[in-house]
Structure 1
């Protein structure tokens, strides 16, 4: 049954929503309505229209919220005129309504004209062929003035604004940007302030392709205007409600939006950032930078993007056509935008938000694909550097100093010498570690800079110098110039983007200056020729890094297809929030219950309980793929025989996920070995017997996932003549890895995934230095929270606190495993008409603790007591499930 409350709200869904979609939208709406730091952690399986549901609920709430704010302002005006004659109050309110309505309608008409102009341009372009862009690639210079291009000029050691770490701007450039309405803290005219949206929705996802899909969905619904009905004029008979286009703005990096050919061709993000900001500080200005002369194009860019719901490609195209920089011009559209889309790194880094002029205070943050948000926070704050990169850095610095050393001013010489000492110290430490025993471990950060007196260097000042002087760009640009000249290239001069070693060094030094109890530095030897070794900075907990978002946003929605288990998000992203501030929801699927079959296969034989103790009754052939037991050849053979039986009744595609690449290789080798007891048909291997049932494919660590998926799909959808994959036919079997390339982002919908098996529980390596550090940190952080929370009452004893801390670490470790399992399971069911079986092969899947960490829709489809019924019970269940579904 659907929620009657949900039906009371018109979410303006372009289709008739399913009950689970109504439940999801109502929950989002309620969390947004509560505001005041509310958090929603919501799970809606892939294939249930999650993105569209997010859009409809969030935009419905936003428009309703804005309408209520307008109404409240009128009530405030009326209250302020208490005691005045009614006609005066009525006139004042009428004038206020008319003025707001006039501004709204003028804005909407202007945007409609922009949309019409865009449409006419598209139609003309289709008739005459694509309009030629007026920006031509920069011609190759026959000669390069090396001193002008690469020599570092004056640098002053002054205080800077830490917020703009993506590239410092000169005071002149900042002043110029303020004149045209760019940058933070800019005074806007009263007219512009009138159209600024008070509450914005910041929507972020992992990749640009996911954001592009979201924007395509955003174009589907139509929402009522933000003004109350009585303030919006009606045309015609007035029966149709007016609508208002969603004002959406996509933000991205310079790498995606730069329209200056001489800068964009540099390739790497770091090089593009440096060259862009250098142009702003030099006499050679970027011609595309917004300035008073091109203010008309800047405003035209703003109006166009707010009128057309653009994606990143549209932003780039409009910028090119208007000869204006989309990266900077987009900031003029931020005040008028209702929805701002941006990738994870631009939201999760405070410096990136401040550089773009993003203020989350009082606004809504929606994080989609949030199952990996904690890893994403760690990734944007991580850094690594290799010994081979340090050697290259030393080489290019040497080339640069040899050419320009005598022309450098005193302070520049000192700072470049300090960079060299840091490079030497890190190189010496890694060189020593490479020769010692042990392939990996934790590095003492205090020892990394002991060599060459580098520990006496002010790293904060050194990092700032490299960023402001554009040393990395200058040095690497000069090295590329020398290399290009030596090779006599036939293509335009291009700075290498493959290994910007000094930019890599800066990232690592920033990590060194930001070391805290939440971070560790690790070393790891690499299996390469020649031998190499790397240093990596790892953020052990996202709590502090995420706190600037958690403490400022009005509301945060974490949404994903497989968010279970939920506990980690509460404990590590919002550890201080009371339960009343956090709403969780695990939606069911849109498919009917008859389209899902979930089975926990604990053993080939049925398990009979002995005196109510099922654990004591486990047979010797129970499936348990723990690290200690998974190499048992008899169990691997039983797994192969079980899979052989499954392939006999499951049509089309079967996908099996293993805990690791190493174990997958081990299993395949065992199945390919000759059977000690040949079958009646001869000495066939298990591998050959499986190949007789279905075409075989398996994922390798360095292989191409696209090629494997293409061949697997072709074997099912377009099989060779005589090998049809129809009911009872051949089909294909794909052996993959949990956490591998095929376990996330790949859809095994319909015939490609009629059965998904998960073999064992893919726990991370608890003995690795990274996981040892994580466990140690979680235990110490939990103890600290318990100690601070207990206060003087000391309600938690020492032994109890230690037990709770160890349990918190165990939960985090197990939750990481189950999130990976849940992601793999979610590959099968992708839409309402889809159907699939899920087989969880390990006795531990029969335990309540593990089952509680499965998504709600999977738990709902789990056959009760299946872990006791063995392979025979599974085969009967599968036969019944697929009966009548074939064809």
Structure 2
């Protein structure tokens, strides 16, 4: 893997203007040049880039990628013009010039037509909003009208067994809807319409994905800051009076759950129910066809939707509102925007699942993929392909199936009757296995898929065909919605549309899909649960993200994995693209924008030199004396550090245990450590299963001055957990986080079934690969075991690094970071900390005790106090 330093950045990038709206920091320039170089090289390049929070990572990604895109488009067009001239080199020069002049004119006219049309939409926004408001009231009223011609039609299975489509970008739509979407640019053909409706297709796109919609909204806010040059080549723009800049064309993609504007569908709640009901309402046979679905009468509004979207840099909420104002479905209308967009934002699941990409018409071939907050990517891939199923779910599903068959059984014919019977067999077989699992001695364990499918002859059923049938017939939705309808009637709730029910049968389908994966790529686990009634849960875990991610890496021109805390890097290469040539992988760990003197990093290996070390390993954590010494050390830190101190513990259970110890009186001292901490700072704690909002609000108010008169405490202490609610996405900037303390190394529970399976998988696949490469069995085994240990340790250190990153949030911020455990003094562990933390680390601090730490903290905060006073 090639590590990039500033000196290695290509010389031609040194003076490149990235159109950053501010004066970039040195680390931002380094980051942008690296991104640009990766995209320019192309040919399946991958970048793993770390830029600490507070260094403007999102804006740097925007400026680098869009600057490259505009330069690349201009260059490609210029090359195309040159090639056109070369093709006629034997002709007289005036003929060649006329040809080129005409081609330049066509490019210019096409560009001007689009930009003028989009500019007019920007000018008409306010007037259109007023008109849309009136139309929306009319359409909202219309949407409430329900047709009741045939009540049973909504839930009855179709009798035409042959009318099924292959899954594609238009899957689930009626013929009429498919034709309309093809007219606006999505599908196998594009019909040319009037000149004011032409689609200027962007051949290369940037797909930007992040974990949550709020992070994508923040990205779009940043996207509105910079201004980029026109994508026209110089030879075309020269001599014309066109603007030198060109607004960015953005499309934010999302699921039906976020974009649906049909009240009767949107209120269903679950993603699966919304998807099934939506596609059901597109069919020509539907008695209550969705009035917002694509159709000829809405073609004008669909084009308005497209042009308004490309003109205005909207977020998901804007698209939802635009669809309502135009009375056209934003989920389907968004597909007509896709060809003209330069940059598309979307959440992880829509990018990581090939079926989701196909449903949205996303084609990655030759395009750029940027994955932000990529420290989550390994877990995100596993979560997208995970599935769970409980015994109680299956019992409920069997009951629902019985209710449905009682009502419609006599109307089920042919393949419908056969497949409904097969669903019943699958439910009964899985139920039988799970009821047997309740009697197993162990509370959890690994399940053999063959044992699972042996009951009731499930292994004799073609599961692929059954899944396809359930999806195409919408069986799960029909059964669940009918049962919800019956139950609502029984309760006397006859208010019309069905309320959302628990998607039990959809969970069954997800689990069946997981069962069809290669057994080598995943494992199935059982876990007993003890609540009001004994239950047992099956969980499918994807062990290898390689196959799921390979289609992205092999298709895209370049893939950028960017995050604030990506260290250690090796797991991404080993897990996501293990066979990719190292020359195609670029890694970069940027420094922080803060001055070196704004950071004080120490490792605390023991309370005093020569005293027993702090080692919060699983075996040593229960040492009562060590717990008390830790409490006294934190108390000493609180005596010196002003404002906010955040402490991260390895787990919620250990936090509970240690608080109990601190609340007990100490020998020779009548005041427990807990009470002494409360006297110094107001103490708050994160609690598993409860919302963190109230805790964060009270913690912040205490620090920022909302304490009672006469309260002498200097700020607040927040006790949290690595990997918990406070360790990611929370901003402890400035006074809220003057010190972050990490207790121990939060290794995952290696005795748990899922981690056992992960370790075994890495060992076996690594050994097999090394032997194929020519290594001996003994060498391969040793290296495979080390690879598994590294993966395990890297998971721990990523969690630590994520927690550390909560404190320093901008250039003027400052904080102390204390790592409490003797193991932080080892070179191997230190080497897995981010570069900016290593640079700020007191090298021999692990050899010193609490007294030396107090001296360092005192000097650090006195200096900062003096600097603040002099400003």
TM-score, scaled relative to structure 1: 0.93
Partner residue in 1 for 2:835: 856
SS in structure 2 at match of 1:551: helix
Distance 1:234 1:490 in 2: 70
- Counterpart of 1:610? none
How many equivalent pairs are there?
A: 855
| Alpha-carbon separation, structure 2, partners of 1:823 and 1:866 | 22
Stretch of structure 1 that moved more, 178-187 or 749-758: 178-187
Trace 1:369-768 onto structure 2 (pairs within 5 A).
369-489=373-493, 491-497=495-501, 499-606=502-609, 619-678=610-669, 683-722=670-709, 729-768=713-752
Aligned partners of 2:524, 2:546: CA distance in 1, in Å? Answer: 18
Task: State the match for 1:825 in structure 2.
Answer: 804
Supply the distance in 1 between the matched residues of 2:392 and 2:701 (Cα, whole angstroms).
Answer: 42
Counterparts in 2 of 1:163 and 1:450: CA distance versus 1, 3 Å: farther
- Return the offset for 1:157: 6.0
Structure 1 residue 163 displacement after superposition: 5.0
> Which consecutive aligned stretches of 4+ in structure 1 deviate over 3 angstroms post-superposition?
1-7, 119-122, 128-134, 137-146, 157-160, 181-184, 187-194, 233-236, 490-493, 721-725
**1:7, CA displacement in angstroms?**
4.8
Deviations 1:659-714 (A, max 9, x none): 00111111100000111222xxxx00010011111001111112221111111111
Counterpart CA distance in 2 for 1:262 and 1:570 is: 46
Give the match for residue 851 of structure 2. Answer: 872
1:772 equivalent to 2:756? Answer yes
Q: CA separation in 1, counterparts of 2:345 and 2:236?
A: 30
Deviation at 1:489, TM superposition (A): 2.4
Contact 1:623 1:843 in 2 (8 A): yes
Q: Deviations for 1:522-548, whole angstroms, at most 9, x for unmatched residues? A: 011123211211000000110011110
Alpha-carbon shift at residue 574 of structure 1 (Å): 1.1
Q: Over residues 288-319 of structure 1, what are the superposed CA-to-partner deviations in whole Å (9 max), with x where a residue is unaligned?
A: 11122321111111111111111111111111
Mapped contact 1:173–1:280 kept (Cα < 8 A)? no
Aligned equivalents of 1:2 and 1:572: distance in 2?
28
Q: Is the 8 A contact 1:724 1:731 kept in 2?
A: no
Contact 2:47 2:587 in 1 (8 A): yes
Task: State yes or no: 1:189 paired with 2:192.
Answer: yes
1:87 matched to 2:91: no
Q: Measure, in 2, the Cα distance between the counterparts of 1:327 and 1:62.
A: 27
Other-structure match for 1:846: 825
**Cross-structure match for 1:11:** 18
Unaligned runs of 5+ in 2: none
Q: What TM-score do you get using the length of structure 2 for normalisation?
A: 0.95
Report the CA distance shift for 1:188/1:877 in structure 2 as closer, same or farther (over 3 A): farther
Distance 2:438 2:656 in 1: 29
Q: Bigger CA drift: 555-564 or 431-440?
A: 431-440
- CA distance in 2 between counterparts of 1:515 and 1:77 reads 50
Aligned to 1:279: 281
Q: Provide the C-alpha distance between the structure 1 equivalents of 2:852 and 2:230, rounded to a whole number of angstroms.
A: 58
- Per-residue CA deviations over 1:813-849 (Å, capped at 9, x if unaligned) read 0000000000000000111111110000000001110
- Report Cα offsets for 1:318-360 as digits up to 9, x if no partner: 1111111111111111111100111100000001101111100
Task: Determine the C-alpha separation between the residues in 2 that align with 1:458 and 1:158.
Answer: 20
Q: Distance in 1 between matches of 2:494 and 2:689?
A: 33
Query: Over residues 575-604 of structure 1, what are the superposed CA-to-partner deviations in whole Å (9 max), with x where a residue is unaligned?
Result: 011211111111111111111111011111
Which residue is 1:36 aligned to? Answer: 43
Distance 1:182 1:534, change over 3 A: farther
Distance of 2:430 and 2:732 partners within structure 1: 46
Task: Tell me the secondary structure at the aligned position of residue 742 of structure 2.
Answer: strand
SS at match of 1:526: strand
Is 1:785 matched up with 2:762? no
SS state at 1:435 partner = coil
Give the equivalent residue in structure 2 for 1:809. Answer: 788
Contact 1:368 1:560 in 2 (8 A): yes
Which of 244, 254, 258 is the matching residue for 2:260?
Answer: 258
CA–CA separation in structure 1 for the residues paired with 2:499 and 2:768: 49
Q: Which runs of 5+ in 1 are unaligned?
A: 607-618, 791-795
Contact 1:28/1:40, CA 8 A, preserved across alignment:
yes
